[in-house]
Structure 1
Amino acid sequence: MSEPLLQIRNLSKRFETPRGTVHAVNDVSFDIPRGSITGLVGESGSGKTTLGRSLLRLIEPSEGQTIFDGTDLNRLDKSGLRAARRRMQIIFQDPVSSLNPRLRVRDVIAEGLRAHGIGNARSRRDKVAELLEEVGLSADHMNRFPHEFSGGQRQRIGIARALALEPEFIVADESVSALDVSIQAQVLNLLLDLREKRNLTMLFIAHDLSVVEYLCDQIVVMYLGRVVEKGPSRPLYRNPSHPYTQALLSAIPMPDPGLERSRTLLKGDIPSPLHPPSGCVFRTRCPKAAEICAAGTPEPVTVGQFHQSYCKRIEGRHATT
């Protein structure tokens, strides 16, 4: 793999509530190689969105490091973070609520340019026209309001807004989950084209593993705030080692209805992050759980090249071989 643009080290985010402490993200570490697309997957409530926003300090992390091109973002003051944010942007999940309905498209896209004092009114207008063309819309659309567009077109506007400051890194937070399948494919292909054209690095957050397999170079699997498996996309899909990853992959629909896949059905719901299970956080739903799984947090075990799994049973097997 290439040199990482982003290094996440022991990142945690906790929220204090009247009922106790919510462990939304817990001791997460992984790298995002420069020019790659890293997929972040897991069920709803696993901490994916909180992690993505914590990386950009849209939510302040509780502890840990986010090292972006050699600089720890979590140690930057307000002015330093403002400068760094020109290099990092986000595409939000909901293309309706993320666009200000009172602003015309030209003002939505140019908002970041104005905030950073880039260009004048004419140059910003020209930039907006270029961005609209780049994401597959017409420059004539800049004078319309967001409600005049379809869901897929609104997401393209959101992508154009994210590109306005020429970022190097983009967090795409469930950016196709609200779209029809045919529109999803168009937006995914657009993201791939933009990655190649602009040499972008992305964190693509999703729950649809078939989409992630198509788009991403490496995968990070999260459950209840913790990473349970991570590795290059193809080896991880072909040989998932963690029981949670195996269950997620077994739920992907087969394109041929005549083919059958062995399903791993998980019992119950994801536990509350207020009171996560001891030891392995997945053990209360794991079909392979054993007594050892309650004893201590699993350590990462290398199961292939750049491929690691956080499982006490795997850890135990490696310890005896």
Structure 2
Amino acid sequence: MTLAMESVAPLLIIEALVKRFSGRGGRTVHAVEDVSFSIKRGTTVGLVGESGSGKTTAGRTLLRLIEPTGGKAVFDGVDIFALSERDMRAYRQRMQIIFQDPFSSLNPRMRIEAILGEALDACNYPKGAKRKERVAELLTLVGLAPEHARRFPHEFSGGQRQRIGIARALAVEPEFVVADEPVSALDVSVQAQVLNLLSDLQKRLGLTLLFIAHDLSVVEYLCDEVVVMYLGRVMERGPSRAVYANPRHPYTRALLATAPIPDPTRRREHVPLAGDIPSPINPPSGCVFRTRCPHAIAACAEIVPPADHLGGDHHVACIRHNELAQAS
């Protein structure tokens, strides 16, 4: 990461974010626990991890689509978790989301012009000819034709529907967008097109993006920084180049080992990742990754690893990271 990037001020600072749900029988689901990171203005941060890691819950909580249990989210100097619902409405236009499933997130009974019109209603955008111009502008922005405004969602392919979802998110000219696994439901051939579109829009519009994914290869292509989550906690975070070049957490290494590499001359270290992610109702003591970690020792069951600073913005939550780095 360049010095210029390091000096960019954060748009969003997340401190000790906690989200717990009440489960059956009075049990507590620990979806997100003590998550902290920041997102610099005009950059893209990748939030990655397996299904059940808490990344989608974290993203939706940051927008207060789900109310937090604890922590702070300081957006442009204001803790939005402390705002009343009425005061929060002023921030809705500045913060938007692109959903994972491009079909279920669009009302099948509405034409595209009405779907985009709903978003424009939220910011009191004038109706009539000016609105039609704005709808045409949004469709063109995401690579569709203005005449597509009269069609219904079922008349489009999955990639086209996701472009409509992106247009809807951008309709109110937000500063911050959460992209919740926006390409995971698409064919591989279409994923690259949508990723290129997001990358282009981020640069052209100066957007700040939180890109949620389970595929580290996707995040490497798109993101300036990466945050690796497991069972509700952050395992490692830092500039993408640093994390990919020198992953220090066993979980990050395991995820990277399964990510495809387009270069056949390169090989990744094989890191076994046995078993399934534990239940968030009864997470392991100490390090939550220890039950699947090939390097776990007795102390891992007793200590919740702090986020050790490795230099720059690179942090890792593993009590053995120095030993593992020397051994690799």
TM-score norm. by structure 2 comes to 0.94
Structure 1 gaps of 5+ residues are none
Out of 287, 305, 310, the position equivalent to 1:280 is 287
Match of 1:312, SS state, is coil
Q: SS at 1:293's partner residue? A: helix
Deviations 1:83-131 (A, max 9, x none): 1010000000000000000110001112121133221233222111100
| SS across alignment from 1:43 | coil
Cα displacement string for residues 250-306 of structure 1 (whole angstroms, at most 9, x for unaligned residues): 111233557643311112100000000000000010000011111221111112321
Distance 1:284 1:302 in 2: 24
Please report how far the alpha carbon of residue 307 of structure 1 lies from its aligned counterpart in structure 2 after TM superposition: 0.2
User: Structure 1, residues 1-41: CA drift from partner, whole Å, max 9, x if none?
Assistant: 21000000011100001240000000100000000000000
Contact 2:195 2:222 in 1 (8 A): yes
Matched, 1:175 2:200: no
1:210 aligned partner, one-letter code: S
2:14 paired with 1:8? yes
- Work out whether residues 31 and 232 of structure 2, in 8 Å CA contact, stay in contact via their aligned partners in 1: yes
Q: 1:134 aligns with which of 138, 141, 150?
A: 141
In 2 relative to 1, CA 306–260 (structure 1 residues): closer, same or farther, beyond 3 Å?
closer
Which amino acid is the alignment partner of residue 68 of structure 2? P
Q: Relative to structure 1, is the Cα distance of residues 205 and 259 closer, same or farther in structure 2, using a 3 angstrom cutoff?
A: same
> Does the 8 A contact of 2:254 with 2:272 survive in 1?
yes
1:122 aligned partner: 129
Residue 62 of structure 2 corresponds to residue 55 of structure 1: yes
Measure, in 2, the Cα distance between the counterparts of 1:143 and 1:223.
43
Match of 2:194 among 187, 196, 205: 187
Distance 1:61 1:71 in 2: 16
Which segments of 5 or more consecutive residues in structure 2 lack a partner in the other structure? 1-5
Task: Give CA-to-partner distance per residue, 1:132-164, whole Å, 9 cap, x none.
Answer: 001000000000000000000000000000000
Cross-structure match for 1:220: 227
Q: How many residues align?
A: 318
Tell whether the 8 Å contact from 1:301 to 1:314 is kept in structure 2 after alignment: no
1:32 partner SS: strand
- Please tell me whether residue 261 in structure 1 is matched to residue 261 in structure 2: no
- Contact 1:301–1:315 (CA<8 Å) still a contact in 2? no
Contact 1:279–1:295 (8 Å) recurs in 2:
yes
**Partner letter of residue 61 of structure 1?**
P
Q: Indicate yes or no: 2:111 matched with 1:104.
A: yes
- Conserved 8 A contact 2:60-2:66: yes
Quick check: 1:250–1:263 contact (8 Å CA) kept in 2? yes
User: Which of residues 144, 165, 178 in structure 1 aligns to 2:172?
Assistant: 165
Q: 1:220·1:230 contact (CA, 8 Å) conserved in 2?
A: yes
Q: 2: CA distance between counterparts of 1:88 and 1:112? A: 12
Query: Counterparts of 1:122 and 1:249 in 2: how far apart (Å)?
Result: 50
Residue 146 of structure 2 corresponds to residue 143 of structure 1 = no
* Greater Cα offset, 292-301 or 86-95: 292-301
2:246 to 239, 242, 248: 239
- Summarize deviations over 1:51-71 as a string: whole Å, max 9, x none: 000000000011111110011
Percent identity, please: 62
AA paired with 1:234? Answer: R
TM-score normalized by structure 1?
Answer: 0.96
Q: Which runs of 4+ in 1 moved over 2 A?
A: 253-262, 314-318
CA distance in structure 1 between the partners assigned to 2:58 and 2:184 by the alignment: 18
Instruction: Decide whether the 8 Å contact of 1:299 with 1:315 is kept in 2.
Output: no
**Cross-structure match for 2:216:** 209
Residue in structure 1 matched with residue 3 of structure 2 by the alignment: none
Q: Is the 8 A contact 2:256 2:268 kept in 1?
A: no
RMSD: 1.6
12-21 vs 248-257, which deviates more?
A: 248-257
